[in-house]
């Protein structure tokens, strides 16, 4: 029988983001038992597919965040930051580009006129310092 204290711990742990399997290991109960009691208290538990969708959305948000900070990040550099494979990063990049959320920028891309002017000013200032 599950005690009132265990029920309270269960709700607190789940609301703090622990998975059913993590809670079941801590409380030494089966995951279906944990799920049963959470549903009994009116807490909707996430299915495996729901958790996967949440992770995918978080990963895409992270990728967009890093690419907005530095659009010249390579897939290798980005994969290290997000802890995903380069293939997955490329797949997400392609999807995000097709949706219009990001614009692909390559390191060898033609530089705009405004950037050329800025570079010219930087070089002139560097020459003055020397």
pLDDT at 28: 92
pLDDT-based confidence at 111, cuts 50/70/90? Answer: low
Whether residue 57 is found in the same domain as residue 93: yes
Q: Which domain holds residue 23?
A: 4-40
As a whole number of angstroms, the distance between CA 44 and CA 86 comes to 34
The gap from C-alpha 103 to its chain's centroid, in whole angstroms, comes to 19
On whether residue 91 sits in a domain, the answer given is yes
Q: What would the mean pLDDT of 92-101 be, rounded to a whole number?
A: 81
On whether residue 109 sits in a domain, the answer given is no
Give tens-digit pLDDT for 22-60: 899 999 999 888 888 888 888 877 666 666 666 777 888
pLDDT at 49: 66
Whether residue 62 is found in the same domain as residue 87: yes
Average pLDDT, the chain: 79
pLDDT at 66: 85
Length of the chain: 130
Q: In what helix (H) or strand (E) does residue 70 lie, and over which residues does it extend? A: none
**In the predicted structure, residue 76 carries a pLDDT above the cut 60:** yes
């Amino acid at each position: 029988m599950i005690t009132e204290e265990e029920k309270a711990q269960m709700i607190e742990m789940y609301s703090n983001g622990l998975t059913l399997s993590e809670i079941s290991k801590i409380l030494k109960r089966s995951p279906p038992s944990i799920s049963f009691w959470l549903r009994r208290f009116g807490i909707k538990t996430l299915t495996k597919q729901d958790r996967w969708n949440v992770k995918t959305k978080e990963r895409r948000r992270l990728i967009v965040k890093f690419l907005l900070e530095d659009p010249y990040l390579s897939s290798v550099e980005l994969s290290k930051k997000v802890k995903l494979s380069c293939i997955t990063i490329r797949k997400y990049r392609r999807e995000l580009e097709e949706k219009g959320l990001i614009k692909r920028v390559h390191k060898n891309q033609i530089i705009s006129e405004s950037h050329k002017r800025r570079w010219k000013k930087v070089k002139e200032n560097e020459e003055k310092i020397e």
